[in-house]
Chains A and B, each alone.
Chain A
Amino acid sequence: MSGFKTKPTINHLQNSSLVPFISEREEILAALRTIEVFSIDEVVVKWTIKDIDGSVRVESTTSGRAALINGNQELQIFVAEDDSGEGNSLFELLLELSDFCRIREAHLNLLSLILNQDSREIVEYYLRREGILFDEGYADDEFECGQ
């Protein structure tokens, strides 16, 4: 037993990614580059289950504070402007993004950090600590604070 100790690995999930390496990954990443946000009074989401012939079998409507729709040209994010009533748009945005990006439950806390933390250094510290890949070149880009 030598006195020399190797530095312990912080996390066994080294070199991981928030968007899992699934077949739809490239499609998801491409869509994320086209995000456009729209402000609206209220988000009404209509869910439908269709029959094989394409006709609507059942539908259910719900209201909310944020919705993500993957359109033909862009990934549209609808956000309700006024959060004074029920619900919270940022939290619903997190749910929508995690659902669309297939982010694993173990990584939801990091997505929450990314959306809530206004210090780029803190975000990057924890992403590195958890072994999440990201482009270090972002340091030259604008990091917008406070939404």
Chain B
Amino acid sequence: MFFQSVLQCTYANIATLVEEARTIKSSDSPERITGILFELRNVLKRDESKSSKTSASEITALRHCRMFPTNKGMHTEYRELQSADDENTWYIPDNSHLAGLFRSKVSLLAVNTQTAHDLMPLFKALRMRHQLLSVAATKVADAEGDPQPDPAYTRWLRSRVKYIQG
């Protein structure tokens, strides 16, 4: 308690957490795994805000760790552990609309959208931005019928959007 309340040593150091992340098994409870992920987020966030940056070798080690539980389809149980290095094989559901669209087609990190947002400092530190669904998925709109310019609607929207442009 002394260390926590007075010295604020609330977090483990990064080396300890890398070792702990390496012990994650697919049979572990989701609570244990997300607990470790949040601890990592806290340490990386703390190191980011201080001069003691996490070293490149520590980041590399973390990117190798198969510590991200993923699932596909409507299975609520996670099925496979993935690492940050397993790029283009799984994605982070940071947008609920996109998660619904792609859930049956690609493997997604087995967390909800809010948790995905809460873990963002971890993804940022491990250079995983391109694995965010909102980044990986691009859209093209097809018009059913013949699109017609709508000058009145355009004028209306421009007059409103001015208030967004402050």
Residues of chain B at the chain A interface (Cβ within 8 Å) = 88, 91, 98, 101-102, 105-106, 136-150, 152-166
The residue in chain B whose Cβ has the minimal distance to the Cβ of A98 is B164
Find A78's partner among B143, B158, B163 (CB 8 Å cutoff): B143
Secondary structure type dominating chain B contacts: mixed
Pair count A-B, CB < 8 A? 144
Residues of chain A at the chain B interface (Cβ within 8 Å) = 17-19, 29, 32-33, 35-52, 57-58, 60, 62-63, 67, 69, 76-79, 93, 97, 101, 103, 111, 114-115, 123-124, 127, 132-135, 138, 141-147
Find A46's partner among B102, B136, B142, B152 (CB 8 Å cutoff): B142
Assembly CA distance A71 to B137 (angstroms)? 16
Known A-B contacts A38-B149, A133-B166; A32 and B161 likewise in contact (beta carbons under 8 Å)? yes
Question: Within 8 Å CB of B136, what residues of A?
Answer: 49-50
Secondary structure type dominating chain A contacts: mixed
Question: Within 8 Å CB of A39, what residues of B?
Answer: 147-148, 150, 153
A44-B144, A78-B143 given. 15 additional CB < 8 A pairs? A18-B163, A37-B154, A38-B149, A42-B144, A49-B106, A49-B136, A69-B140, A69-B141, A76-B141, A77-B157, A127-B163, A132-B163, A135-B162, A135-B165, A147-B153
CB distance from B114 to the nearest CB of A (A): 11
Question: Within 8 Å CB of B138, what residues of A?
Answer: 47-50
Question: Within 8 Å CB of A144, what residues of B?
Answer: 152, 155-156, 159-160
The reply to whether B148 and A38 contact each other, CB–CB distance below 8 Å, is yes
The reply to whether B144 and A40 contact each other, CB–CB distance below 8 Å, is yes
The residue in chain A whose Cβ has the minimal distance to the Cβ of B89 is A57
The reply to whether A42 and B145 contact each other, CB–CB distance below 8 Å, is yes
The reply to whether B165 and A32 contact each other, CB–CB distance below 8 Å, is yes
